[in-house]
Amino acid sequence: MSSPPKILIVEDERRMRRFLATLVESHGLTPLEASTAKEGLALLTELAPDVVLLDLGLPDGDGLAITRRVREWSRVPIIVISARGLEDDKVQALDAGADDYLTKPFGAAELLARIRVVLRRSAVAEREPPTHTIGVGGLRVDLDARRVFVDELEVHLTPIEYKLLTTLARRPGRVMTHQQILREVWGDGTSARPHHVRVHMATLRRKIEDDTTAPRYVLTEIGVGYRFADPEP
């Protein structure tokens, strides 16, 4: 049997750090604790954790700079933890290469769910060949044929809508910022702006969602971007 996944917690507030450590430990994961950026980077290189929970406000460096540094040499999933209301921080952290974020205060169930998503994604990326079909609920995307079905009925998408859908659907459960979506869908150096994403998202949703005010497949992360539904919540 393989050893339990190691979760590196980089957080300077002692109570928060202990809370996170106790929580992950009680769910069969191994916590590693660091209270500074320096300590966190040292543990990251020495112990190769499976997931990093990274507080953005650390005494000796900010989480954005750390995320960028880690991304130079590691693909380890990083979930940033930000203070309430700092939307820009979250967006910048995601643009810097973080995988997900949580806003304080958050619930234990939410944190564990996010950890499971990134762990599952790592496992899938290691083991499975690339998929040819993406399915969640009644939505099915045939990537080879470039066809999309909702409840077995084909829906016709424009090229941009299709790219938008598949860009998100290839990363289920993962939030993508407006900038990341613009780069992937429209390409580097595009003059398209976040409102273009919103416009095409609105038309895409009208085609694939039953109720565009309560979407099931592409969820809005307010002030940040979009997240494709996690097939196994």
Contact pick of 27, 36, 41, 57 for Ca ion (by CB under 5 A): 57
Burial class from Cβ neighbours inside 10 Å (0-12, 13-18, 19+) for residue 99 reads buried
Q: What's the closest the beta carbon of residue 11 comes to Ca ion, in angstroms?
A: 6
- Mark 6-25 with x for binding to Ca ion (rule: CB under 5 A) and - for no binding: ------x-------------
Rounded (5°) CA angle 225-228-229: 130
Among 50, 55, 99, 221, interactor with Ca ion by CB under 5 A: 55
Under the binding rule (CB under 5 A), the answer on residue 39 touching Ca ion is no
How many residues of this chain bind Ca ion (CB under 5 A)?
Answer: 3
Give whichever of 82 and 177 is closer to Ca ion, judged by the CB atom: 82
Question: In this complex, which beta carbon is closest to Ca ion, that of residue 12 or of residue 184?
Answer: 12
Phi, psi of 207 (to 5 degrees): -85, -30
| Cβ partners under 8 Å of residue 118, min gap 6 | 51, 77, 79, 99, 100
Residue 47: CB minimum distance to Ca ion, A = 22
Separation CA 166–CA 170 (nearest Å) = 6
Q: Identify the H or E element spanning 196.
A: helix 194-208
Find the residue with minimal CB distance to Ca ion. 57
Q: Residue 208 half-sphere exposure, CB side, CA atoms within 13 Å? A: 32
Piece in contact with Ca ion (CB under 5 A), picked from 27-35, 51-59, 138-146, 159-167: 51-59
* Nearer CB in complex with Ca ion: 12/33: 12
